[in-house]
Amino acid sequence: MKENYEFFKKELKTKKIAVLGAGVSNIPLLKQLARENCDVTLFDQKEKENINEDIQKLINEKKLKCFLGQNYLEGLKSFDIIFRSPSLLPNNPYLKEEESRGCYITTEVEEVIKYAPCKVIGITGSKGKTTTTTIVSKILENLGYNVYVGGNIGTPLFTKIEQLKETDIVVLELSSFQLMGMRTSPDIAVITNISPDHLDIHGSYEEYINAKKYIFKNAKKNSILVLNSEDEIVKNFAHEFEGEVRYFGTNSNLDTYYLKENKIWNKEKEIIDTKKLILKGEHNYINICAALSAIKDFIKDTSNLEAILKNIPSVPHRLEFVREINGVKWYNDSASTTPDKCLGGLSAFSEKIVLIAGGSDKNIPYTPLAKPVTEKVSKLILFGQTKNKIYDAVMEEVKRTNNRSLKIYVLDDLESAISVAKKVAVSGEVILFSPASASFDMFKNAYQRGDIFKKLVNDIEK
């Protein structure tokens, strides 16, 4: 165990602590702090009756101090340590005020990186980070390592720090919200790519890019940074890093893993033909290259990689095959929350596509989606808050090219979209639910949206 975790644990019992947000990442932390009788106060914008039932019970049993509801942050004064929720960025005025007084502001995942006694691999990017995190963890598990997955997926790991052994490996998916303001970095940092995302929350694209840099900003000199060789923004991060830099991509001159002629290679050795993979799409083959490049030091023998890779399943809500009905295959890509992610889904299929898209607005332009849609999509079915923005972008391209074959349907909800898709799709086509938008106009999150899509599709009678 890293030498100062015990000191930090003792410090927690002597400090005035605020936990901001009773969401998934903070629930185990809050329970532990309350169980150890720390001076902890919960802040959440939800009213008590809308908070997680376990937390409601904890509040009652421990008589936990709380500030809840619309103006919850007005009580955030004179704390020693604040654990913020990822969605509450460190540039929030209330947090800045506390920081100016000398308050230590952190997150659950930052403390995991700081105190975990083992190797920590952190993975970020605008798209592909969940899939890459999953691939890394599956390969390591198959190689015999004891792996803990956390961050944006998996389990909050702060309460497990004392269970971790030096021989374990922690793999973290890290969002820009979690990274922003972080004062520590993982041993191995992976950046899959960067494109506009979360501009409805970040003040600018520049702020979003700078938030991603925190994954390596405080790295030690013996750390490793793994970068996409074909992403100009990402590639240039190498100039700001003092440790070892590794690249992945489609360049056969790379020292690590790369994609060439639909095969994954390590130097001049073929690792696997992508036809043998369950995962679909070139972007996922690149994700595999990123994962392998990150953990190449843990791979003693590459001869068994093919057997491992071909059994890695598709990640839920990411080009996830749902079922085939009358010769039409349905795919759930609900985690496609930006136009850029939708482009990856469109490029994964050679068949004509019936695309279902639309959702809540992240202030991202839809122009890049227009040309690929007119080329790959036979029917475009739109719903949600962004339906008109997508429609306008696509129609500009339709008018420019005089494309009369694309049929567009603008609807009110997902149920209607699925009903129309079933009617208009023909045998041999793919129905792809790839919203290119966030989910918060109609759903709790992208995962709930995907689960509802799968249920509705599985309920269809042939």
Domain residue spans of the chain: 16-106, 110-309, 320-457
- pLDDT in the model for residue 2: 53
Q: Token pair of 376, please?
A: 């790959």
Task: Give pTM, 2 decimals.
Answer: 0.86
CA distances from 342 to 20, 114, 358 (A): 33, 35, 11
CA dihedral 442, 446, 452, 456 (to 10 degrees): 100
Give the span between the Cα atoms of 146 and 168, in whole angstroms.
Answer: 5
- pLDDT in the model for residue 375: 96
- pLDDT in the model for residue 203: 83
Task: Decide if 110-309 and 320-457 have a common fold.
Answer: no
Give the span between the Cα atoms of 83 and 12, in whole angstroms.
Answer: 11
Q: Which residues pair with 360 in a beta bridge?
A: 438
Superfamily in which the 16-106 domain is placed by CATH: NAD(P)-binding Rossmann-like Domain (3.40.50.720)
Give the span between the Cα atoms of 264 and 65, in whole angstroms.
Answer: 54
Residues in Cβ contact with 52 at an 8 Å cutoff, skipping those fewer than 6 apart: 22, 27
Give the span between the Cα atoms of 380 and 369, in whole angstroms.
Answer: 12
Query: What is the side-by-side order of every strand in the sheet holding 257-260?
Result: 257-260, 263-266, 269-273
Strand bridging mode 224-228 / 244-248: parallel
pLDDT, tens digit, 9 for 90 and up, residues 282-336 = 999 999 999 999 999 999 999 999 999 999 988 899 999 999 999 999 999 999 9
Give the span between the Cα atoms of 290 and 296, in whole angstroms.
Answer: 10
- With a cut of 50, list the residues of the chain below it in pLDDT: 1
- pLDDT in the model for residue 1: 45
CATH topology of domain 320-457: Protein-Tyrosine Phosphatase; Chain A (3.90.190)
Q: Contact at 8 Å (CB) between 266 and 257?
A: yes
Give the span between the Cα atoms of 417 and 428, in whole angstroms.
Answer: 19
- Dihedrals phi, psi of 425, to nearest 5 degrees: -70, 145
Residues in Cβ contact with 169 at an 8 Å cutoff, skipping those fewer than 6 apart: 118, 119, 120, 121, 140, 145, 146, 147, 148, 298
76-79, Cβ contacts within 8 angstroms, sequence gap of 24 or more: 76/18, 76/20, 76/43, 78/16, 79/16, 79/17, 79/18, 79/41, 79/103
Give the span between the Cα atoms of 395 and 56, in whole angstroms.
Answer: 50
CA distances from 97 to 65, 79, 93, 108, 436 (A): 21, 11, 6, 21, 36
Residue of 443, 346, 303 whose CA lies nearest to 385: 443
CA 427, 432, 433: angle at the middle one, nearest 5?
140
Q: What is the CATH number of domain 110-309?
A: 3.40.1190.10
Give the span between the Cα atoms of 323 and 321, in whole angstroms.
Answer: 6
Q: Contact at 8 Å (CB) between 383 and 439?
A: no
